[in-house]
Amino acid sequence: MADKKTETKRKKLSSAEKQAKQNIARREKNLARKTAIKTAIKKVLAAIESKKDVEETNKLLRDAEAKLSRAKSKGVLHANTAQRKISNLAKKVAAAQR
C-alpha cells in the first residue's frame, strides 16, 4: 500500500494523470538523491573522525562532491546550498590532514 503522498487521485484529464505520475516518479528520485548525499557526507565525516588514510578520505570527498554537483544540476538542491556543503566538507578534510 502506497503512502498518502504518493497516492494519486483519479484525474479528469489524461494529461493531468500523466503529470501526477511524473511528479511521483520525480519525488522518489529526488528523495533517493538526497538520501545518497546525506550518506556520502556522513561517510566523509566518519573518515575524518576515525583518521583514515588521506587517499581514502579524499576519495570519499570526491564522491560526495560529485553527488552534490549532480543534485545541483538536476535542481534537487539550490546551487549555493550545494557549493556551501562542498566547501565545508573540503575545509574539514583539509584541516584533518594537517
Element (H, E) at 40: helix 14-49
pLDDT in tens, 5-51: 656 667 788 999 999 999 999 999 999 999 999 999 999 999 999 98
- Domains of the chain (ranges; CATH) run 15-97 (1.20.58.110)
pTM of the entire predicted model: 0.83
Mean pLDDT of the chain: 92
pLDDT for the residue 12: 81
pLDDT in tens, 55-86: 999 999 999 999 999 999 999 999 999 999 99
Residue 93 has pLDDT above 70, yes or no: yes
pLDDT for the residue 6: 59
| CA 7 to each of CA 1, 20, 25, 37: distance values in angstroms, whole numbers, following the listed order | 9, 9, 12, 26
d(C-alpha 86, C-alpha 21), whole Å: 33
- 44 close to 38: Cβ distance less than 8 angstroms: no
Radius of gyration of the chain (CA): 18
| Nearest Cα residue to 71 out of 39, 23, 24, 95 | 39
pLDDT for the residue 98: 85
